[in-house]
Amino acid sequence: MIYLDHAATTPVPRAVADAMYAVLTEQFANPSAQYPMGLEMKKQLAAWRRTIAGALGCDPKALFFTSCGTEGDNWAVRAALWQNRHLGRHIVTTAVEHSAVLEACRWAQQDGCEVTYLTPDAQGNLSAQAVLDAVRPDTALVSIMMVNNELGNVFPIAEIARGLAAKNPKTLLHTDAVQGFLEVPFAARTLGADFVSVSAHKIGGPKGIGALYVGPRVRNPRPLLPGGGQEDGLRSGTEATAQIAGFAKAVELRLSGLEETLARMASLRDYAVEQLSAIPDVQILGGGAPHILALSLAGWPSQNIVNDLGAQGICISAGSACHQGKPSHVVAALKLAKRVSGGVIRLSFGPETTQDDIDQCAAALRRHHDTRMPML
């Protein structure tokens, strides 16, 4: 099998699974328990938090565990609106955010908020100035993703943060960094965002665990889950210790030789662009992050391509995430020609991806082009 869908989820290394297994079978105590085994688990939990916070570039006290990136996104939106409830009820975001942010904003609209959805250009780019121009005196929250999950575009979060500080310093900034964490360089403490959400399963960790960075400008955030007082009383519930252990181990593994790994993935992406651009009707879209490559085989429906390559053991995704023949909200926002938008696919790479994987995928796409009739 050739796996080229790392932006969807990543394989879990054996070392990560072993770390989780040890917690599940041997170190299974509740961190809130007061006997020695529980107290030891509390120490372990603090150590894992330090590891992840170190990679994110923040104080461990500013890092709160969640069940996933979606939870972190929702929490950030709610917390920002709560803190700024007296400032206003206006939100600025983009039309190409992950559904976790878009749906949270739509729920906020039902509660009386006004949302401005910014549309990037045809290549998926969005300037900091476009974001700042949309900010008003009553803007409570700006939520802009760090890396677009379908196109790979990297948005200028630090520049947006600096502009907000000058234009409207009370407006809070959230970035969904699920596709950016340990893929593009940043440190939460210097980025300027007030909330940064991340997820373990995009970097070789298990599903079901993520984290939210909450910056110092967020005062007494409203608890997401009241209850037993875990996570400083902000997100109660017994900690998912096995998943957290796996998250920390995945971070350790990714940090080892990270600079070289990212350079190699960027080189692979460039190589893939070169090989795939040679196929007739291929159009490269977006770009910026080292691990995501979006393209269109214009005229050939993306789901047919995914099915054909899947039958050959090559895993890619329909970047258009077609539903009843309609492109995803991300592709739709680009306002591409129908034959281009309908043929969008996404390849995404990980540390294990090889040049041979790219070669075999390119050969399969060329065969699909040469042997199947265009339908768009």
**pLDDT tens column, 318-346:** 964 444 456 799 999 999 999 999 999 99
pLDDT (0 to 100) of residue 193: 98
pLDDT (0 to 100) of residue 325: 53
Domain shared by 204 and 283, yes or no: no
pLDDT tens-digit map of 147-185 = 999 999 999 999 999 999 999 999 999 999 999 999 999
Domain shared by 302 and 224, yes or no: no
Q: How confident is the model at residue 222 (pLDDT cuts 50, 70, 90)?
A: confident
Domain shared by 313 and 290, yes or no: yes
Average pLDDT value for the chain: 95
In the structure encoding, which two tokens stand for residue 359, read together?
A: 């070669």
Stretch 108-130: mean pLDDT, rounded? 96
Domain shared by 63 and 133, yes or no: yes
Domain shared by 228 and 357, yes or no: no
Q: Which of 227, 255, 283 finishes a domain?
A: 255
Stretch 178-202: mean pLDDT, rounded? 98
CATH code assigned at 332: 3.90.1150.10
- Residue 59, pLDDT > 70, answer yes
Q: Which of 197, 221, 255 finishes a domain?
A: 255
Residue carrying structure tokens 């045809």: 122
pLDDT (0 to 100) of residue 321: 43
pLDDT tens-digit map of 243-285 = 999 999 999 999 999 999 999 999 999 999 999 999 999 999 9
Among 136, 135, 140, CA closest to 111: 140
Range(s) of the domain holding residue 317: 258-371
Domain shared by 243 and 266, yes or no: no
Is 95 part of any domain? yes
Domain shared by 227 and 270, yes or no: no
Domain shared by 230 and 263, yes or no: no
Q: Looking at 105, 113, 322, 361, which residue is catalytic?
A: 322
Stretch 190-209: mean pLDDT, rounded? 98
Q: Of the ranges 97-101, 229-233, 324-328, 330-334, which one carries the lowest mean pLDDT score? A: 324-328
Domain shared by 290 and 309, yes or no: yes
pLDDT (0 to 100) of residue 375: 85
pLDDT tens-digit map of 123-141 = 999 999 999 999 999 999 9
Domain shared by 232 and 174, yes or no: yes
315 annotated active-site: no
Q: How confident is the model at residue 230 (pLDDT cuts 50, 70, 90)?
A: confident
Stretch 15-39: mean pLDDT, rounded? 93
